Amino acid sequence: MMKRHIYDCQAGCPVESTLQIIAGKWKSVILYHLFVDHNCHFSDLERKIKDCSHRMLAIQLAELEHDQVIAKIPTNTANRPIYVLTEFGKTLKPVITAMATWGDYYNAHMTKEAQQLDTNEDKKSKLDMPLPKPNLL
């Protein structure tokens, strides 16, 4: 277990190195919520990320913890730890912020398109989307 998508961290592309850490299906989403809320229980994340199953959430959290991106902190309430970003994990903020910013712009544009009843699937509709600007986190 704990194998994962193997990208080549050496030869060349720095994006592959980043993917080695955040490429899990729900990892960047989990990180986004932790940047917003700072600390969450398992059940908090489960509620925020509805499409991620209980099992998947546990796996993704375990991998992020293994990679020192997040840490599990015990609480007085037994068996109900909170998850927080480590200092290392916090260095990923620019990446998650960029993703969140772009996603918001994309949503805003797509929603507007949808309101125009743009039925021709999604052809051409994306091509005039303006550059994202604001910052969220």
Cα distance between residue 3 and residue 27, in whole Å: 15
Burial label for 101, CB within 10 Å (0-12, 13-18, 19+), is middle
AA identity, residue 56: M
- 39 touches a second copy by CB under 8 A: no
The binding site for DNA (CB under 7 A) comprises 3-5, 24-25, 41-44, 46, 51-56, 58-59, 61-62, 72, 79-81
- 73 touches a second copy by CB under 8 A: no
- Per-residue x/- track, 76-115, a second copy (CB under 8 A): ----------xxx-xxx-xxxxxxxxxxxxxx--x-----
Structure tokens at 92: 């990923």
- 59 touches a second copy by CB under 8 A: no
Confirm if 69 and 90 have CB atoms less than 8 A apart: no
Confirm if 54 and 46 have CB atoms less than 8 A apart: yes
Contact positions toward a second copy, by CB under 8 A?
A: 5-19, 21, 23, 25, 28-29, 32-33, 48-51, 67-68, 86-88, 90-92, 94-107, 110, 122-124, 126-132, 136
